[in-house]
Homo-oligomer: A and B are copies of this chain.
Amino acid sequence: MDNKIVDVAKKAGVSAATVSRVLNDSSLVSEKTKQKVLKTIEEMDYHPNAAAKHLRSQRTMTIGIIVPDIIVSYFSEIIKGVENAAYARKYKVIICDSDNEMEKEMEYLGLLSNRTVDGMILVTPLVSDDVIEEYAQKGYALGVIGRAVENESILSCKTNNVEFSEMAVRHLIEQGHKQIAYIGGYSDSMENYERMEGYLKALKDNRIPFKPGLIDSGYFEEAGGYAAAIRLFDRQEPFTAVYSANDEMALGVYRACRERGIRIPEELSVVGVDNNRITQYLLPPLSTVEQPKYEMGVCLAEKLIDQLNDQSESGQTKYVIDARLIIRDSSNYSRKRT
């Protein structure tokens, strides 16, 4: 149906090998032949078949990216970074939206096994470290964003969770808060663990006693944050501020406050994480931690593709980018009393 390389070869009066050489501008072709072939290619509107090229070259120039939900801007911004970096290197990106289902993630990981993709980027998916480890062991190219994996051969990019969490909670303490709740994500995720650690560190450094009753979990989602806030409100333990491990859950906190008639920031200060686009439009605008999402996507895509082409000069595989606190009105209200 389409023109094949031999068709071009025949029309141009040369062999398929020569046409191929022209396509991959090899230096082994005379200028005269090259021009003749290029003209013929133009005339016939010939486009080399991708599948044939992939089979022969053993590479598909494609990477995959697995995210739990593409609609959440935290993920779509990372994807954009990955896409842009890949495009610049002539790579394609297959989008894998797992809908938060582990089964779907596993199936998408299978794209590595059958060589549909040359490499895969995982953005905090549900699959266990063991699974990731296993794929790496088999020699597949993997990268991870927002999650730490021990294995030295696995690329990863994350932010300084402990430090910025400590900073965020310290900020709340400086505003006069002494009872600060923490709403975490998946309790077994590295992100959650580290953010909790920063929270605890800030409390300890300021000699504020830790109260287990002020900890709850919202699984990094709006609905989870809402439910956690409601549970916290219904407990005996009073609090005047909340550090939410991401912005989505903070949205849930806002909703719970609206329902309960609790004013932000007068009665409750809130700080989130991610600086999702939506946070600046909230009332009040949400204080949050700017995560360089786009940059993390670019970083990991570049390193992964370099690795695929044996161009990873440094051999470095672990990247940590500093995040910074953005103070907005949701936490900008000094508390004068105890």
Contacts and interface: CB of A to CB of B under 8 A. Distances in A.
B92 A93 contact: no
A87 interface: yes
Contacts of A2: 115
A70 B62 contact: no
Interface stretch (A50-58, A202-210, A229-237, A264-272): A50-58
Bin chain A's interface residue count: 35 or more
A317 to B, nearest CB: 22
A14 interface: no
Nearest to A285: B283
Nearest to A57: B51
A76 interface: yes
Contact of A71 (B51, B58, B73): B73
Contact of A99 (B58, B84, B104): B84
Number of copies: 2
B95 A95 contact: yes
Contact of A84 (B55, B97, B113): B97
Contact of A80 (B70, B93, B111): B70
A48 interface: yes
Interface string A63-105: 0000001110100110110011001000011111101000010
Given A54-B54, A94-B62, A115-B51, A71 B277 contact: yes
A94 B96 CA distance: 9
B50 A115 contact: yes
A116 B97 contact: no
A137 interface: no
Interface in A208-240: none
20 contacts: A1-B139, A2-B115, A47-B115, A49-B114, A50-B60, A51-B51, A51-B58, A51-B60, A54-B54, A62-B94, A70-B79, A71-B80, A73-B73, A76-B76, A80-B97, A83-B97, A92-B94, A92-B111, A94-B95, A278-B278
